[in-house]
Copies of this chain bind each other. A is one copy, B any other.
Amino acid sequence: MTHPTDKRDPGTPPGDASLSEVALITALSREFGAPPAAVVLGIGDDCAALALDGPDYLLLTVDTLVEGVHFDLAYTSLDQLGWKSLAVNVSDIAAMGGEPRYALLSLGWPPDRDRCLALQFAAGLARAAREYGVAVIGGDTVAAPEGLVITVTLTGQVPAARMLRRAGARPGDLIFVTGPLGEAAAGLEILRRGAKLAPDLQEPLIAAHLTPRPHLAAGRLLAREALATALIDTSDGVATDLYHVCRASGVGALIPAAAVPVSPRVQAAAPALGVSALNLALTGGEDYLLLFTAAPEMAARLDQAFARAGLAQPLPLGRIVPGDRVLLSTPAGDVDISGRGYDHFRLDLTAEDL
């Protein structure tokens, strides 16, 4: 929830997206006033967190998906859409180190579309619910004449002393991601263009876009073993997600271009798609991995903990530095990629710069 820059928003003026959306959310926050003491985290992180009774914080997150903006039923099945509608919220809970618990579904359905198809959507959502231990406990069904509008609200819980957030990164910390970058964005490119690559190359990329698998176990591990200083999920592309961490933490970040953990599948697919694999990796959204920062002395413990848990090793992305920008370090010098989305970035940085 609370995507201060939603690069999927097609109506945002180029170059102005981040500022105006951030300005809107800031203005909204001001309008809503200071929250009461029980609100540990309000507007501006992946979830809101409440200190109610008991040792855990209650986490709350909401995400809306709009037909034609966030998905296209020409290449997304309703079953896949149902899965993804819950998965993107589970990823927000993972980004706090929490456990997802209860979901409400608000389903806006076009009156002229067969309601029985809604059961295909529900089947996909129910499969994700079983996978991630979520109970769907209520909701709302409304008419949405212009296309599907899906809002999922998800609760979660996390031990109060263990919750991770965007704030907390310190200069010197190492930056990691929990998987290779760019696969979901490459999958979307393949679908949009109707590209035909080798099946064993394109199928995993398409699946990364259509049926993301949030890194819940990794988030839980980072929180439970106090391994990270800051945590976020990669929904908007790491150039933007890392910038959120930097702003919340009051720091900057430096990413060596040569060391960016671009997915080998993205490397392989990029030439056929005529796109830069590095651009996809840094600015492609919806990977739904976790990005975290950790003190350098934690590096060995991190590897051990992930190995013990049977999880893939976290991949180094760069390091936190003083300042307030996300800089990509290239042979031609440092490039400011703070909060950059795919289309914008492409205008400024071509392969020759690297």
Q: Which residues of A contact B (CB under 8 A)?
A: 1-3, 6, 8-12, 20-21, 24-25, 27-28, 31-33, 35-36, 39, 42-45, 47-48, 50, 52-56, 58, 60-66, 68-70, 102, 104-106, 108, 110-112, 115, 118-119, 122-123, 125-126, 129-130, 135-147, 149, 151, 153, 155
Contact = CB atoms under 8 A, between A and B. Distances in A.
A10 B143 CA distance: 7
A290 to B, nearest CB: 19
A23 B122 CA distance: 14
Given A31-B126, A35-B137, A123-B31, A60 B102 contact: yes
Main secondary structure of the interface of A (DSSP, over half): mixed
B143 A146 contact: no
Nearest to A65: B142
A155 B105 CA distance: 15
13 contacts: A2-B138, A2-B141, A11-B111, A11-B143, A21-B141, A32-B136, A39-B102, A42-B135, A53-B54, A54-B54, A64-B151, A66-B145, A146-B147
Nearest to A6: B142
A143 to B, nearest CB: 4
A42 B135 CA distance: 9
Contact of A20 (B66, B115, B142): B115
A111 B62 contact: no
Contacts of A145: 10-11, 66, 68-69, 146
B119 A27 contact: yes
A272 B283 CA distance: 61
A1 B60 contact: no
Contact of A110 (B11, B43, B129): B11
A144 B63 contact: no
B141 A104 contact: no
Which 9 A-B residue pairs are closest in the complex by CB-CB distance?
A11-B111, A53-B54, A146-B146, A48-B138, A32-B136, A53-B53, A151-B151, A48-B137, A31-B122
Given A6-B142, A32-B125, A42-B138, 18 more contacts: A2-B140, A10-B143, A11-B111, A20-B115, A28-B119, A32-B129, A35-B135, A39-B102, A47-B138, A50-B137, A54-B54, A60-B102, A60-B104, A60-B137, A60-B155, A63-B140, A69-B144, A108-B149
Nearest to A120: B31
A32 to B, nearest CB: 4
Contact of A32 (B106, B108, B126, B142): B126
B111 A142 contact: no
B1 A138 contact: yes
A97 to B, nearest CB: 17
A349 to B, nearest CB: 25
Given A9-B111, A102-B48, A135-B39, A143 B53 contact: no
A44, A47, A50, A137: most-surrounded residue (chain B CB, <10 A): A137
A52 B52 contact: yes
Nearest to A123: B31
B104 A1 contact: yes
Contacts of A110: 11
Contact of A111 (B12, B33, B136): B12
Contact of A151 (B9, B106, B143, B155): B106
